[in-house]
Amino acid sequence: MKYFLCLIFLATSVAGRFDNEYYQLLAKENADKNLITSPLALKIVLALAYEGAKDNTAVELKNVLDLAEREDVAGQYKAFFKVLAKREANLAIDIANSIYVNEKFHIIPEFSKLVTESFKSQAVGISLGNAEKSAEIVNNWVKEKTRDKIPNAVTAKNIDAKLQILLVNAFSFKGNWLFKFHAMKTKNENFTPASGKVAPVKIMSQYGFFKAADWPEIDAKVLQLPYHKSSLSMFIFLPNKPNGLGALENKIGDFNYTNLTSRRVHIKLPKFKIDFAAELSGILKKLGIVDAFGANANLQDLVQEKGAAISKVIQKGLIEVNEEGSGFISMIGIRDSFISIKPLLSPLDFQAVHPFAYVIRDEKSIYFQGHFVKPE
C-alpha cells in the first residue's frame, strides 16, 4: 500500500506538468486527426528506461517524469499493477510495454528480471537482419497483452538498420457506462469539423442527471460520464464553436474538476473508435529527455555495452465509445447520488456534434486523453 500511495502522489504531481505539456505537443502535431494517448502508460515505459539509465540520462528522465529514486520506482509500479487489476476489474484496460534491443548489445539479466517482475513487461533482443520477423515478435507480444485488440503495433519499417533500442507502449480501453445510451435512440446526424465540411456520424443521445459545467472563460462546456463499478470517468470538453478546440486544449490542464455540478443534461455524443499510433522521441526531446536518444546516452544498467541509445518510442492506442452500459440495475438509486442537494440548475444542452476533447481519469491521475475531430 505504501508503494501505491507513492505512485498516486507521483501521478498527481506529474499530471499538472508532464501530462499536460506532453498532451499539448501531441495534440498540436495531430490537430487534424482523431487522437487517443495515455500519459500514464507512456510514463511506465519511460520508467523502464529510467531503471536502466545512469548519470545525466537518468537525471533527465527522473526530472521530466518527476520519478522517485530508482530503487523505489519498480516497487511502486509493481504495487500499482496489482491494485489496478483489483480496483478496475470491470474495465478492459490492457497495457503492453516492452523494450527491444539490437542483438549486437547484450541485455543485463538483472534488468530483464526487473522489468518482468515489477512492470509486467519484457526486454528482448531482436535481429535487424530480418525486420519482418522482428516486427512479428513485437506484434505477437502486443497482441497477447491487449487480448487481440492491437495486432499490429509496429511494421518492418520501424525496424531499420540504425535501430539500437526500441520502446513500445500499446494500450486499449473499453469501459461500460454507468448510465447507458439506448441504441434505439442512436441516429445518423451531421458532424461539423473545424473545416466546416459537414459529415454524417452516428450520434447517441440521452437525457438525465449528470455532473457538468459551463466553462465561460474558454467558451466551452464540460461533462462527466462515469464508468460502471469504476473510479474512472470520461470527461468531455466541448467548445461552443466548431473551431474552438485548439484554444480549449491549450487550457484543458487548468480546468478545476470541482466545478462540476449535478444537473439535467441533454447529451448528444458520437459513437467512435480511435486507433492511433505515434513515434514520440521528438516530443520527448522537446520536454527535456535528450541524452537518452543521443551519443551521450548511458544505459549501462540495461545493456552491458557503452554507446546504446533509445532510437524510437512508439505508442499505439485503441479506444471505443458506444452505447454499452450497465443496464437498468438500480438506475434510479444510482442517479440519486448524482443529484445535488443544492437548487437545481437549468438543463444543459450538451451537443458534441463538432470537435471535442476528452480525458479519462480518476481523482488523482489521467489514464487516457485525446480528441475527436472528424468521423472516419
pLDDT tens for 266-310 read 999 999 999 999 999 999 999 999 999 999 999 999 999 999 999
Q: What mean pLDDT comes out for the span 105-134? A: 94
pLDDT of 328 above 90: no
pLDDT tens for 217-240 read 999 999 999 998 888 999 999 999
Beta bridge partners of 41: none
Residue 58's φ and ψ, nearest 5 degrees, are -70, -40
- pTM of the predicted model as reported, rounded to 2 decimal places: 0.89
Nearest alpha-carbon partner for 297 in 47, 69, 49? 49
Nearest alpha-carbon partner for 21 in 44, 43, 6? 43
pLDDT at site 325: 37
Nearest alpha-carbon partner for 192 in 32, 355, 52, 348? 355
pLDDT of 6 above 50: no
Confidence of residue 8 (pLDDT cuts 50, 70, 90): very low
- Please state the domain extents for the chain: 2-175+274-319, 183-271+324-372
On whether the 183-271+324-372 domain is CATH 1.20.1740.10, my answer is no
Identify the weakest region by mean pLDDT among 73-87, 165-179, 246-260. 73-87
Q: What mean pLDDT comes out for the span 232-258? A: 95
Whether 65 contacts 50, CB under 8 Å: yes
Q: What mean pLDDT comes out for the span 363-376? A: 93
Which numeric CATH code is attached to 2-175+274-319? Answer: 3.30.497.10
Whether 60 contacts 46, CB under 8 Å: no
Confidence of residue 91 (pLDDT cuts 50, 70, 90): confident
Whether 153 contacts 142, CB under 8 Å: yes
